[in-house]
Amino acid sequence: MVAAASVVAAVGTVTGMVSALDEGGGRDQARPKVTRSPTLEPLPAVPTPSASKSSAKPSPAKTSAKPRPKPEPKTSTQRPKEPRSAAPSADSLYRHGDSQVLDWVRANRSDPRRPLIESRIADRPAAVWFAEYAPETITSRVRAVTANAGSRVPVVVPYAIPDRDCGGASQGGAPDLAAYDAWIGKFAAGLGSGEVVVILEPDAIALSECLSAKQRTARYASLARAGRTLKAANPRARVYYDAGHSGWNNAAEQAGRLRAAGAASIASSDGIFTNVSNFHRTGAEAAYARKVLAALGGPAGLGAVIDTSRNGNGAPADGEWCDPAGRGLGESPTLRTGQARVDAYLWIKLPGESDGCKGAPGTFTPDYAYDLARG
């Protein structure tokens, strides 16, 4: 996934940052295991016994050396009133109370880096990853996050598709698609009835070259079923599919893959996500996302979410994806972007969790976090 992976590079422990802009509630400890990391891995959900064996895993660190292209935006400013889940009325993202960065902040009150890391990273809302295939506990782990969110909107990342990351740093997942389908059903059972954003399987569509044509078809069919299952379990869930990023696959090609995976159907999708674990600037991603949506077709109300966790200074000119120097935090997480067809800016990859170069994949690395916070 060196050239193509964009999201799951480092899958650290489930302590990944899960806080929410508006403060937040629960201190569940589901933390993802560090399973070598592909592009992006889940954040903490409900704890599974140990810090490294929990349900929510930190976001993978690999951001795909190959930038995923983000085609020029389609100028359509109109947002159709299709029967998609209504967008949240307030900018109230949930900040999960248990994450690697919060653990570090609590344990290092006298560290001179702590104030900046705390104010610029730990106090922001971030996604909660679920990268460990543990069907017996996944429902309770997801419920621990959604139940504690209260009126705020949690962002959860199911990350257990078989052959994920094409055998890269974040390899792992369910043993087969039948097991994955059952796991997603149990994941969906924990969504509750409130608003929730679901980032469905980063890299599962953009990064699928390692699969045969038959295997890709089967994976896409499974993702389509997953979207329907999630939305049937909670009609207020907003499900987004993997569109890679603006430096990766071209918009038409990515749209074709997304269509095959159910992303154009209102029964399974609310749109697409881009830039997970990558560094491409928000403007380029928004343009690319609109181009993909235009090629995708489907309800006009389909939108996009962009991972802005590390794109403040754009992508490195040399294409480096593993903890590249000189990067910075991007726009703060928000459900109000002011951009046509862009539903939210989210921190999906957890800032400060290494891609595997400045620290072990998926683990919080204070020096890296500090550099991002200063950038």
Q: Is residue 185 helix, strand or coil?
A: helix
**Which of the residues 28, 242, 355, 371 is marked catalytic?**
355
Structural contact between residues 302 and 271, judged by C-beta atoms closer than 8 angstroms: yes
From the list 28, 103, 123, 203, the catalytic residue is 203
Query: Whole-prediction pTM value?
Result: 0.82
Strand ranges for 8-158 from DSSP E: 9-10, 39-40, 56-57, 128-130, 155-158
59: its two tokens: 């976001």
Q: How many CA atoms lie within 13 A of 213 on its CB side?
A: 0
- The pLDDT score that the predictor gives to residue 59 is 59
pLDDT at 322 over 90: yes
Residue 54's pLDDT band (cuts 50, 70, 90)? very low
For residue 167, the 8-state DSSP code is G
Q: Is 28 a catalytic residue?
A: no
pLDDT for the residue numbered 75: 34
Percent of the chain with pLDDT over 70: 76
φ, ψ (nearest 5 deg) of residue 122? -65, -30
- Kindly name the residue from 165, 270, 307, 323 that is annotated as catalytic: 165
pLDDT for residue 58: 52
Residue 355 annotated as catalytic:
yes
- Contact criterion met (CB below 8 Å) for 371 and 333: no
